[in-house]
Amino acid sequence: MVLSIRSVCVFCGARPGRDPAHLEAAQAVGTLLARRGWRLVYGAGDLGLMGATARAAMAAGGATFGVIPRHLMGQEDARRDLSTLVITETMHERKKVMFANSDAMVVLPGGAGTLDEFFEVLTWRQLGLHTRPILLVDSGGYWQPLTALIDHLIAQGFADPSLRGFFEVVADAAALEAALARTLGANPSPAQATHSGPAPVAP
Ligand code: AMP
């Protein structure tokens, strides 16, 4: 069964970061997803950029799909008022459920958790396991050191130059919207309407 609604997974920090531009970018992304009718898939927490993205999407009437491991529900202040909340037993399961229910992956500024999530979908893409678009929102140039590192891996012969083509860097929420409209329109939905993970918990 194929989803009629498009779903966009947002990986981002559980902290707000120091530059207020990142919080604004997260809010703008949440709002644009709702306005476009694209469902937000995210980590279900109410902290930092994660919380800001979800609150903006909900305020604009958007659908939200949150996935959180049981042991983080308190620590990350899991929201129970999402359109769908899935509680998993492990972090691995969380990522699997988020991935299975998304048509595109968006990366806003964040820390080690965000990098883990980015590199997992990037390496799966490198291995040919999916073709979902991966879009880095380069708010305030935040991801420049990351793209420089990836260029370094390629220059030093530890990655094929094709790695650079498996993700796209966009400057801001407006550029993200244009890129998503282009890529979601071109790709059939790989996300499943149901998933093999734990049953969603009613809000
Ligand atoms: P951070 O970017 O470190 O603020 O983390 C952002 C989100 O990623 C938080 O919700 C973390 O719980 C989550 N996260 C951190 N490490 C992992 C992991 N290994 N697998 C899945 N999610 C993770």
Q: What is the CATH number of the domain that holds 23?
A: 3.40.50.450
Beta bridge partners of 134: 105
* Residue 72 CB less than 6 A away from ligand 1: yes
Q: What is the DSSP letter of 79?
A: -
Is there a contact between 33 and 57 (Cβ–Cβ < 8 Å)? Answer: yes
- 51 in ligand 1 pocket by Cβ < 6 Å? no
User: Which atom of ligand 1 lies nearest, measured to the CA of 48?
Assistant: 4
Name the E strands within 132-175.
134-137, 168-170
Instruction: Indicate whether residue 114 lines ligand 1 (CB < 6 A).
Output: yes
Whole-angstrom distance, CA of residue 114 vs CA of residue 98: 13
**Residue 187's pLDDT band (boundaries 50, 70, 90)?**
low
Strand order in the sheet with 104-107: 168-170, 134-137, 104-107, 7-11, 39-42, 64-69, 84-88, 200-201
User: Is the CB–ligand 1 distance for residue 116 below 6 Å?
Assistant: yes
Could you give the 3-state DSSP secondary structure of residue 74?
A: coil
Is the CB of residue 68 below 6 angstroms from any atom belonging to ligand 1?
no
Q: How confident is the model at residue 190 (pLDDT cuts 50, 70, 90)?
A: low
Any domain includes 198: no
Closest residue by CA, ligand 1 atom 17: 113
In this predicted model, what pLDDT tens digit does every residue of 121-168 receive, in sequence order? 999 999 999 999 999 999 999 999 999 999 999 999 999 999 999 999
**Ligand 1: centre distance to CA 21 (Å):** 21
Which ligand 1 atom is the nearest neighbour of the CA of 92?
Answer: 20
pTM: 0.91
The confidence score (pLDDT) of residue 58 equals: 98
Classify residue 195: in a domain, yes or no.
no
- Calculate how far, in angstroms, residue 39's C-alpha sits from the geometric centre of ligand 1: 20
Residue for token digits 């083509």?
165
**Is residue 52 in a domain?**
yes
In this structure, is residue 101 part of a structural domain? yes
pLDDT given for residue 196 in this prediction: 38
By residue range, what is the domain housing residue 60? 7-188
| Residue 200, in any domain of the structure | no
Domain count of the fold of the chain: 1
Q: What stretch of H or E contains 86?
A: strand 84-88
115, pLDDT greater than 60: yes
pLDDT per residue over 74-96, tens digit each?
Answer: 999 999 999 999 999 999 999 99
Ligand 1 proximity of 96 Cβ (cutoff 6 Å): no
Q: Give dist(CA 55, CA 138) in Å, integer.
A: 21
Domain for residue 91, yes or no? yes
- Please give the distance, rounded to the nearest whole angstrom, from the Cα atom of residue 156 to the centre of ligand 1: 29
Mean per-residue pLDDT for 37-41? 97
Q: What is the pLDDT of residue 185?
A: 76
Residue nearest to atom 7 of ligand 1 (CA): 113
Mutate to test the pocket of ligand 1, among 15, 49, 91, 120 (most ligand atoms within 8 A of CB): 91
Whether 202 shows a pLDDT value over 50: the answer reads no
Residue 12 placed within a domain: yes
Does residue 197 sit within a domain?
no
Which residue's C-alpha comes closest to atom 5 of ligand 1?
113
Q: Distance (Å, rounded) from C-alpha 89 to C-alpha 69?
A: 5
